[in-house]
Amino acid sequence: MPGRHPTVAVSAPGKVLLAGGYLVLDRQHTGLVFGLSARINVVAAEICTSQGVQLNEIVVDSPQFLDAQWRYGYHLAPEGGGIKVTQLQVGSRISSNGFVETTLGYALTYIDGIAASPKHRISSARVIILADNDYYSQSTPSASQTGRFAKFSVALSGANKTGLGSSAALVTSLTASLLSHYLPNDVFDISTREGKRTLHNLAQAAHCAAQGKVGSGFDVAAAVYGSCLYRRFSPDILSQLPEPGAPGFSAKLAAVVDGGLAWDVEVLTEGLSMPQGVALRMCDVDCGSQTVGMVKKVLSWRGRDADRSKKLWDDLQLRNDKLAATLRAGNASELPAAVNAVRELIRQMGKLSDVPIEPETQTELLDAVSTVDGVFGGVVPGAGGFDALALLIKDDEQTKQRVEARLAKWSRERDSKVRLLDVKGEMEGVRREELDVYAGWL
């Protein structure tokens, strides 16, 4: 049977929230978020069957890991409930993947609602997910580290992540690949402004549902648009959605995704860049933090100490804006002062809320690395904690080698594992890829 839907490949970047941790939860404030060169890649292809044989199945493979295949049946739910996805058993067990399953339900429901002709309707597909190596810590056991996509000798659940935003990049690239696979270019095209808006709104809805809460959404925005200054959308935009499969879900999802002006999100990409010769680099500290618990504690303090916390948040916003303006103006020499001013208030917030946003060990490590020639400074990004550092450094091999030497010395002295990842900050968001990038994996 000839294929009706093309094989497509899409990638979306990870992210780092350089400034605006905690503030980005509030619409009054913004976050400065950079996309990263580490990408989650998704290839969507048709499963061709013999004449007269019909499958209603989506097969999802993550071939870098052991036993990483998930199979899903799908059917149209009654009363406008959209496409209901049900996980099928593979072998003798079922291991769930909530982000994949939720994204399939949302994306397929939206596609089914706008697929105008039978030839664009949903048919069985195989989806392959490949993650760049920097998403996983050096402590993840691997069978082979050669090439862009390592082969790991553990199940996906046994991989230690480096905190680059894999769930948002996965949901975004999976959603984009399904939309691009099933819909013709004149209906959906991720290279257009309209296509990106559709993708952003649908991926935000799916990601929030998969997380079980409405997050600020900066990670999905970076996955779609790349580096940006981000102001979150109002949470009630998504609170009106029923559960997938519930009566009316399909129409309500379409109304939310295509709501246009109802989305009050602000994503500003114009003029945002790194100064010439400066690179944003990430360090894997390989400890990990419980971000959700930290956020709850900070917000609880904010509620108890409203006056002092408001002043601190307002002052921190001004310092974040100064850092963004310094980057935009290309003033590399002014970066150390701008970065240190932000860190000062972050430490104050951590002390007042009794949350390790910039823990003492991270303070000592940042201070040590900041003395290296060619380093302009760094922060504990996002919600903070122990799992990553973001550094602004001169973009040359000599500086890279000096930083790596300092981190190696630190690791020996402290009996810890700290390393510079290969990943760099980059401007671009979601994009189509050529299939030959994935030779040997398809």
Residue 193: CATH number of its domain: 3.30.230.10
The whole-number pLDDT of residue 401 equals: 98
Number of domains in the chain: 2
60 Cβ neighbours under 8 A, 6+ residues apart: 69, 70, 71, 72, 97, 100, 104, 126, 127, 128, 129
Under 8 Å between Cβ of 56 and 184: no
Shortest CA distance to 243 belongs to which of 253, 228, 233?
253
45 and 79 part of one domain: yes
Give the domain range for residue 349.
278-425
**Residue 321 domain-assigned (yes or no):** yes
118 and 206 part of one domain: yes
**Residue 351 domain-assigned (yes or no):** yes
Dihedral class, residue 288 (left if φ above 0, else alpha if ψ from -120 to 50, else beta): left
Is 0.85 topped by the overall pTM? yes
Under 8 Å between Cβ of 347 and 369: no
d(CA 208, CA 217): 8
18 and 65 part of one domain: yes
Specify the pairing of strand 57-61 against strand 125-131: parallel
| CATH number assigned to the domain comprising residue 286 | 3.30.70.890
The three-state secondary structure class of 111 is helix
**Residue 3 domain-assigned (yes or no):** no
**Residue 350 domain-assigned (yes or no):** yes
51 and 178 part of one domain: yes
163 and 36 part of one domain: yes
Q: What is the 3-state secondary structure (H, E, C) of 266-300?
A: EEECCCCCCCCCEEEEEEECCCCCCHHHHHHHHHH
**Residue 354 domain-assigned (yes or no):** yes
The whole-number pLDDT of residue 214 equals: 79
299 and 256 part of one domain: no
**Residue 14 domain-assigned (yes or no):** yes
244 and 285 part of one domain: no
166 and 204 part of one domain: yes
Residuewise pLDDT in 10s, the chain (442 residues): 445 899 999 999 999 999 999 999 999 999 999 999 999 999 999 987 655 556 789 999 999 999 899 999 999 999 999 999 999 987 767 788 999 999 999 999 999 998 756 666 899 999 999 999 999 887 787 877 678 899 998 888 888 888 888 999 999 999 999 999 999 999 999 999 999 999 999 999 999 999 988 789 999 999 999 999 999 999 999 988 999 999 999 999 999 999 866 899 999 999 888 999 999 999 988 654 556 688 899 999 999 999 999 999 999 999 999 999 999 999 999 999 999 999 999 999 999 999 999 999 999 999 999 999 999 999 999 999 888 899 999 999 999 999 999 999 999 999 888 999 999 999 999 999 999 999 999 8
120 and 164 part of one domain: yes
- Give residue-wise pLDDT tens across range 174-207: 999 999 999 999 999 999 999 999 999 999 999 9
The whole-number pLDDT of residue 318 equals: 98
The whole-number pLDDT of residue 2 equals: 47
261 and 353 part of one domain: no
65 Cβ neighbours under 8 A, 6+ residues apart: 152, 154, 155, 156, 159
27 exposed, middle or buried (CB, 10 Å; 0-12, 13-18, 19+)?
middle
The whole-number pLDDT of residue 418 equals: 92
The whole-number pLDDT of residue 114 equals: 86
**Residue 29 domain-assigned (yes or no):** yes
The three-state secondary structure class of 116 is coil
**Residue 1 domain-assigned (yes or no):** no
53 and 174 part of one domain: yes
What the block records as the tokens of 325 is 């303006």
d(CA 222, CA 216): 12
69 and 149 part of one domain: yes
